[in-house]
């Protein structure tokens, strides 16, 4: 589903593609009576997380890398629900919405700066040209990787913990694929940062000379989303997965 970047941020981060996870959580009483269905959900979710992460490694389109990472994170949410930890899956859904919206809007800011170019191989050296956009994408990428004490860490770590803690063969299978997917997520996030911002400039000279940071209308939403991408996982963890929570 290709679309303008604000549409991508809304669809891929918060609303449409995550509807299946919400539906799974709402139907949890039915699934608890169907252990074979939960087995399939865990299996498909873990394989999706791994497959999408490996696909993201080989993409050169800036937005496609982020889109495949969304697919991978959906796999995490699914297999969390598959091992009967629906609140953990919903916790990751809520956390993921913030940093993924930040990444998509940041990608839009980069594309806007380099005359609508989306191929990362034709960028490079943009950290000096668009420092604000670089900083917000850097924060969003760290949160996506599950860097300690950022938003993504609180839910990704718990998903892997509860999956391993089921002590079933499918749980350990999902744990292994989830761990590999987390490694690949870190790899393609660093690759995105390197090719776009840190490598030697590789685009057209006229485009790179004319590139500049986004105006206030684009920068303000990025600035606002930076704070929940850092703090919201810590702030809402007790509401979703704390002891005695009614969620």
Instruction: Give Cβ neighbours of residue 69 (< 8 Å, ≥ 6 apart).
Output: 52, 53, 56, 100, 103, 144, 185, 188, 189
- Report the share of the chain in percent with pLDDT over 70: 100
Calculate the average pLDDT of the chain.
92
> pLDDT, tens digit, for every residue of 9-55?
787 777 788 899 999 999 999 999 999 999 999 999 999 999 999 99
For residue 192, what pLDDT is reported?
96
Which H or E run includes 55?
A: helix 35-57
CA-CA distance, 8 to 50, in Å (whole number)? 22
Res 193 pLDDT > 90: yes
Residue 118: helix, strand or coil by DSSP?
coil
Res 5 pLDDT > 70: yes
Res 75 pLDDT > 80: yes
Q: Is 84 left (phi over 0), alpha (psi -120 to 50) or beta?
A: left
For residue 8, what pLDDT is reported?
77
Q: Residues 72-77: what's their mean pLDDT?
A: 96
Confirm if 104 and 12 have CB atoms less than 8 A apart. yes
Tokens of 155: 């839910």
Closest CA to 207 of 124, 148, 132: 124
**pTM check: above 0.85:** yes
Work out the widest C-alpha separation in the chain, in whole angstroms.
62
Tokens of 133: 């956009």
Tokens of 24: 């799974």
């Amino acid at each position: 589903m290709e679309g303008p970047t604000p549409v991508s941020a809304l669809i891929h981060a918060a609303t449409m593609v995550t509807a299946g996870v919400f539906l799974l959580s709402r139907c949890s009483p039915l699934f608890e009576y169907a252990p074979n269905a939960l087995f399939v959900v865990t299996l498909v979710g873990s394989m999706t997380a791994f497959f999408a992460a490996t696909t993201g490694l080989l993409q050169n389109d800036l937005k496609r890398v982020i889109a495949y990472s969304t697919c991978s994170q959906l796999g995490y949410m699914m297999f969390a629900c598959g091992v009967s930890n629906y609140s953990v899956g919903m916790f990751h859904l809520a956390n993921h919405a913030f940093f993924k919206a930040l990444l998509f809007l940041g990608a839009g800011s980069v594309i806007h700066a380099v005359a609508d170019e989306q191929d990362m191989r034709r960028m490079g050296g943009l950290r000096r040209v668009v420092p604000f956009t670089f900083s917000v994408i850097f924060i969003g990428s760290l949160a996506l990787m599950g860097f300690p004490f950022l938003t993504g860490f609180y839910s990704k770590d718990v998903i892997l913990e509860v999956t391993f803690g089921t002590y079933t063969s499918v749980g350990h299978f999902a744990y292994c694929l989830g761990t590999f997917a987390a490694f690949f997520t870190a790899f393609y996030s660093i690759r995105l940062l390197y090719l776009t911002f840190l490598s030697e400039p590789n685009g057209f000279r006229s485009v790179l000379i004319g590139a500049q940071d986004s105006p206030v209308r684009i920068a303000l939403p990025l600035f606002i989303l930076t704070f929940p991408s850092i703090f919201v996982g810590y702030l809402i963890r007790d509401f979703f997965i704390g002891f005695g929570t009614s969620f």
